[in-house]
Structure formats: structure tokens, C-alpha cells
């Protein structure tokens, strides 16, 4: 049987406890250089809310658009955390979805991370909390549909919004 395949990777949210795009990382780089202040945080929040940046993070909307065109059995969703934390299982899931023979785990090799621009400084709390507040409803939608990472994102956002460090 021939299948049309659409792989929709949900590569969202970094480990740094906030719904951030490259804007959060850019803000982190500015802080690292001593150039971040309240003004740069506000500018980053404004940029994150612009239509282009916001649309790239509207995963629930993307899922709806995909599913309006493709049947469910032709779409496979995966998460960045699965690629990072359990690459062998993710690879096995993908091969199963594609209907091809699995590759032995010893042959699954991922390259080392190459884009670690932001270093280890935390993203400013105001930016993290604002993004958590903006994205929490969408993450709730994802939680109703998926197990795993979205539930951890929701817990992190709720912690941030309740005054914790996430």
C-alpha cells in the first residue's frame, strides 16, 4: 500500500522552563553580555507576540490545519524532548508509522548539539512568566491530546505563574 506521509514534529519549548522562541535565547545572549534590561525584556515580549513569531508557535492551530487535509493515519506527531531523551524509541515509533523495518538501536546516531548560543544564564523571569501565561491555554489543548512533554510544559508554566522558578 502506498501512503502519503506527513511528519509533523512538534519541536517546541526548550528545557529552560519557558515558552520561548529564538527571542528568549537572544534576550539571554544580551543578558550574558550585560546589555539586557527592562527595555530589552519588553521588546522581546513584544516581538514574541508579533504575528509571525506567534504563528510559528501555534501548534494546536497547526494540528487543526494538518488534520483538515490529511487523515489521522497519515500524520505522526513527535516532540523535541522525545528526540533528545529517547531517540531510539522515537526512531522505532517513526519506522513503525512508516511501515518499514526498524533499525537496530546501535545504528541510531544523533549529532552533538551545535547551537548552544545562549549559554547557561537563565531567561529573565518576566519574559518566562509572560510567555507561560500566553502559551498555557495552547499547552492545555495539547495536554488533552498527547501524553508526555505537554504535561511537563503545563506543570512548568503553572509553577512559573505561581511565582516559582519553573
Mean pLDDT of the chain: 75
pLDDT tens, position by position, 98-113? 888 888 877 777 677 6
Query: Does the pLDDT at position 151 exceed 70?
Result: yes
For residue 117 the three cell numbers come to 548560543
- DSSP for 61-88, please give it: HHHHHHHHHS-GGGEEEEEHHHHHH-HH
Q: Specify the pLDDT at position 21.
A: 45
pLDDT tens, position by position, 63-89? 888 888 888 788 888 888 888 888 888
Burial class (CB in 10 A: 0-12, 13-18, 19+), 145: exposed
Q: Specify the pLDDT at position 59.
A: 83
User: For residue 67, which of 80, 76, 58, 78 has the smallest C-alpha distance?
Assistant: 76
Q: Specify the pLDDT at position 11.
A: 33
Q: Where are the domains of the chain?
A: 6-107+119-124
Burial class (CB in 10 A: 0-12, 13-18, 19+), 123: buried
pLDDT tens, position by position, 33-45? 555 555 777 887 8
Q: Is residue 19 classed as helix, strand or coil in its secondary structure?
A: coil
Q: Specify the pLDDT at position 75.
A: 84
- Pairwise CA distance, residues 99 & 81, whole Å: 23
Q: Which position has the grid cell 510567555?
A: 131
Higher pLDDT, 79 or 13: 79
Query: Does the pLDDT at position 18 exceed 60?
Result: no
Average pLDDT of 145-159? 93
Burial class (CB in 10 A: 0-12, 13-18, 19+), 140: middle
Query: Does the pLDDT at position 2 exceed 60?
Result: no
Amino acid at each position: 500500500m502506498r501512503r502519503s506521509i506527513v511528519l509533523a514534529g512538534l519541536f517546541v519549548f526548550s528545557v529552560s522552563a519557558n515558552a520561548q522562541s529564538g527571542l528568549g535565547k537572544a534576550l539571554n545572549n544580551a543578558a550574558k553580555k550585560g546589555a539586557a534590561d527592562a527595555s530589552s525584556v519588553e521588546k522581546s515580549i513584544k516581538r514574541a507576540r508579533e504575528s509571525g513569531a506567534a504563528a510559528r508557535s501555534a501548534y494546536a492551530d497547526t494540528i487543526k490545519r494538518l488534520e483538515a487535509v490529511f487523515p489521522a493515519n497519515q500524520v505522526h506527531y513527535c516532540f523535541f524532548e522525545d528526540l533528545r531523551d529517547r531517540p531510539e524509541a522515537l526512531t522505532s515509533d517513526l519506522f513503525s508509522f512508516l511501515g518499514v523495518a526498524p533499525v537496530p538501536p546501535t545504528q541510531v546516531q544523533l549529532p552533538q548539539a551545535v547551537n548552544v548560543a545562549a549559554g547557561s544564564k537563565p531567561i529573565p523571569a518576566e519574559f518566562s512568566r509572560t510567555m507561560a501565561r500566553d502559551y498555557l491555554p495552547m499547552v492545555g489543548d495539547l495536554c488533552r491530546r498527547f501524553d508526555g512533554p505537554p504535561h511537563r510544559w503545563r506543570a512548568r508554566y503553572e509553577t512559573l505563574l505561581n511565582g516559582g522558578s519553573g
